[in-house]
Amino acid sequence: MSDDNTELYTAAQTREYLEGHGVRDPKAGPQAGIIRDPHISRTAAIAREDYDPNLLDEPGEMPADLLDADPWQDIVAVEETETIREAMDAGDMPSLKHITGDAGQRADVSGLEAIGDLRDHVTGDAVIIYLWAPPGRGKTDFALLLSQLYEEAHPGAETGSNIRTWTEKDEWIPTYPDLMDWMEADEEAVLAGDVEDKLFIFDEASSHASGRGEDGYEAGQKLGPLVYKIRKYGGSIIIIGHDGKDVHPVVREMATCIKKTSKKSANVFETVNNRRGMNKLLEIDGIPATDHTFNTNEPTAWRWDGTGEDDGVPEPGSVAYDVALWTVVKCKQDGLTHRETAQYVPYSKSWVGDRWGEWEAGEHRDAVDKVEELTE
């Protein structure tokens, strides 16, 4: 190996060591060699060493490593950009090799490992996944990769989505009534125990399923029952959001929650609360791109409106009503106020208070238990 090649190899291996892939555990932080400003580098190193989330009031809402916090991620992104620019200007190949790491050695292996880790989450029946991240981190690409793994585990499965340009889907589904028709088409078969595997990918869900505005009101009425019905019929759904805020309690309770931290990495959590993943289960690196095709610039369409029995205020005994009762009990047991709970149901805070009082008096047990069975 020539001196030049040795220099490049050492720079790349240093990055792998700092990321925890060397023979010994690193004592230096992963930002070493990327943040070149000495004051910022030292501040980051000291802050990271002194950081202890257990000293905070709500440690579960903080990242385990300070550098995983969004403000520090932004700082590292700016510094890495400047380091690359300066290295390109100076022809500094060791610095560039350090930033990219030993990609030739790890890419294929990490990709296979990522596929193996992900496969475990999409091979079962009634898969419910909530996926979130800011724009630009490859959420839709990742969701379509999950659909490939789902179809691999469920031969003959049908896929539907509100992503019109997803070429490989079986059905374009731009409205809530269309989705209900698609899911309920084989209701008799489901009741007979002959479940047909179906996966629905709901893209840009936070634009249509948030707890805010007109769409938010309808989402409060329909997103919970939607997920409940899909689970009831043995179907699967991947919900793609942007920030993890105001996720319906039914979704939080049923879903595996995945945050994309970059285009090639993700963290899997037991649940999500107020934008933060809770109880990390898995870190995944080296996520490959999907083989499926779609237009990344498509503004996906979705409407909650339509005609059918699910429109308007749910009637007692309906799926939507039972889910609303379950939601009241879940939210109140979690310490939410009547007003906070009302954003997740199509009723007022006074209705929430009345139903909670009835629950405490021993009513609604059968309805709530029926929903609870499918959330476990």
Q: Is the per-residue pLDDT at 217 higher than 90? A: no
pLDDT at 373: 76
Q: Is the per-residue pLDDT at 212 higher than 50? A: no
Query: What is the rounded CA–CA span in Å between residue 322 and residue 375?
Result: 13
Q: In 3D, which of 252, 258, 276 has the Cα closest to residue 334? A: 252
pLDDT at 198: 92
Q: In 3D, which of 236, 231, 276 has the Cα closest to residue 257? A: 276
As a whole number, the mean pLDDT across the chain is 79
Tell me how crowded residue 223 is: count the other CB atoms within 10 A of its CB.
26
Q: Is the per-residue pLDDT at 30 higher than 50? A: yes
Q: Is the per-residue pLDDT at 237 higher than 60? A: yes
Average pLDDT over residues 1-21: 64
pLDDT at 307: 34
Query: What is the rounded CA–CA span in Å between residue 334 and residue 154?
Result: 36
Please give the radius of gyration of the chain, using alpha carbons only, rounded to the nearest integer.
24
Give the C-alpha distances (Å, rounded to integers) separating 370 from 43, 106, 317, 375: 53, 47, 11, 9
pTM exceeds 0.75 for this model:
no
Q: Is the per-residue pLDDT at 294 higher than 80? A: yes
Query: What is the rounded CA–CA span in Å between residue 11 and residue 102?
Result: 9
Reported as a single tens digit per residue, the pLDDT across 331-346 is 888 888 888 888 788 7
201 neighbors 159 (Cβ within 8 angstroms): yes
Chain-centre distance for alpha carbon 50: 30
Q: Is the per-residue pLDDT at 227 higher than 90? A: no
pLDDT at 92: 83
364 neighbors 325 (Cβ within 8 angstroms): yes
pLDDT at 150: 92
Angle at 39 between CA 35 and CA 42, to 5 degrees: 75
Report residue 19 as tokens. Answer: 């990321």
Identify which has the larger pLDDT, 314 or 213: 314
Q: Is the per-residue pLDDT at 295 higher than 90? A: no
pLDDT at 219: 59
Query: In sequence order, what are the residues at sequence separation of 6 or more whose Cβ sits closer than 8 angstroms to the Cβ of residue 26?
Result: 17, 18, 19, 20
Strands 171-172 and 158-161: parallel
